[in-house]
Amino acid sequence: MSSLAGKVALVTGASKGIGAAIAQELAARGAAVAVNYSGSKDAAEKLVAGIQAAGGKAIAVQANVADPASIDGLVHTVAQQLGKIDILVNNAGIYEFAPLEQITPDHFHRQFNLNVLGLLLTTQAAVKHFNPEGGSIINIGSVVGKMAVPNAAVYSATKGAVDAITVSLSKELGAKKIRVNALNPGLIITEGAHSAGIVGSDFEGQIRADTPLGRVGQPQDIATAAAFLASADAGWVNGQTLYAAGGYTR
């Protein structure tokens, strides 16, 4: 297990689900972690308390990264309270499924404003506060960026954009010794998957059947992959897309 001792990490959308698992894993490996949340204050503070109880260091920072006006304050708070940033995990995102006839400008902009523009502007702000020695940026994408499913044209488009952004920024930020990679999960059983009715559905069953390892994912499956990309073990990995989906392909 590669140590992240002395590192500072900012994880967006980290109060629950994949983001919370990543924050916990990075903290367990020694990083000081900023747990960003938008509305789930209690969940974020509970996560921070758990990290601290286990001997780690963490803070909770409220900001909606879909709102450009809140991003500079988020990054400034992290740098002020924890120090120069070494790791940025762009995890905050939403998904809304809709068939073609139900797509609206609001449906489009809600997802692009957070999943794409929010990611870009958070990265822009964070790079100004990165450790001069470099670091790692991990963009949480999705298998649907490449393997799109029906009724997800807009969401799939946002994740395809994340893949493209990852490659572009890896070339742009390489001179600063900042590595940029995408981590693309398959179906992960989170609170959101439960609330969306995916768990126990025919859709989940089909994904499970199409996955060579014979199961769907858990948040910890993504957290350990993120920790690898954040660490020195991935020091020669840049501009790549890592699919963490049990071999799922369509």
Residue-wise pLDDT for 7-33, tens only, equals 999 999 999 999 999 999 999 999 999
- Residue 143 forms part of a structural domain: yes
pLDDT at 108: 98
> Which range marks the domain in which residue 216 is found?
8-244
Q: Residue 217 has which token pair?
A: 């994912």
Is pLDDT at 195 greater than 80 in this prediction?
Answer: no
Q: How many angstroms separate the CA atoms of 201 and 179, rounded? A: 38
- Residue 249 forms part of a structural domain: no
- Residue 250 forms part of a structural domain: no
Is pLDDT at 220 greater than 60 in this prediction?
Answer: yes
Average pLDDT, the chain: 95
Residue 65 sits in a domain whose CATH number is 3.40.50.720
Q: Return the SS3 of 135.
A: strand
Q: What is the largest CA-CA distance in the chain?
A: 51
Rounded to an integer, the average pLDDT of 129-138 is 98
Using 50, 70 and 90 to split pLDDT, how confident is the model at 128?
Answer: very high
pLDDT at 211: 93
The three-point CA angle 233-238-242 to 5° equals 80
- Residue 70 forms part of a structural domain: yes
Angle subtended by helix axes 119-127 and 153-173, to nearest 10: 20
- Residue 232 forms part of a structural domain: yes
- Residue 3 forms part of a structural domain: no
DSSP category for residue 115: I
Q: How many angstroms separate the CA atoms of 142 and 122, rounded? A: 19
Q: β-strand 8-11 against 87-90: which pairing, if any?
A: parallel
pLDDT at 170: 98
Measured over the CA atoms of residue 49, residue 8, residue 117 and residue 22, the dihedral's sign is negative
Using 50, 70 and 90 to split pLDDT, how confident is the model at 199?
Answer: confident
Contacts of 139 (CB under 8 A, 6+ apart): 90, 119, 162, 165, 166, 180, 181, 182, 183
Is pLDDT at 104 greater than 70 in this prediction?
Answer: yes
> In the chain, how many domains are there?
1
Identify how many contiguous H helices and E strands the chain contains and give both numbers: 9, 7
Task: Enter the pTM of the model.
Answer: 0.95
Is pLDDT at 2 greater than 70 in this prediction?
Answer: no
Burial class (CB in 10 A: 0-12, 13-18, 19+), 54: exposed
pLDDT at 149: 86
| HEC secondary structure over 179-226 | EEEEEEECCECCHHHHHCCCCCCHHHHHHHHHCCCCCCECHHHHHHHH
- Active centre residues (catalytic): 155
- Residue 2 forms part of a structural domain: no
Q: How many angstroms separate the CA atoms of 114 and 188, rounded? A: 20
pLDDT at 1: 56
Beta bridge partners of 188: 217
- Residue 216 forms part of a structural domain: yes
Identify each DSSP E strand in 97-228 by its residue range: 135-140, 178-185
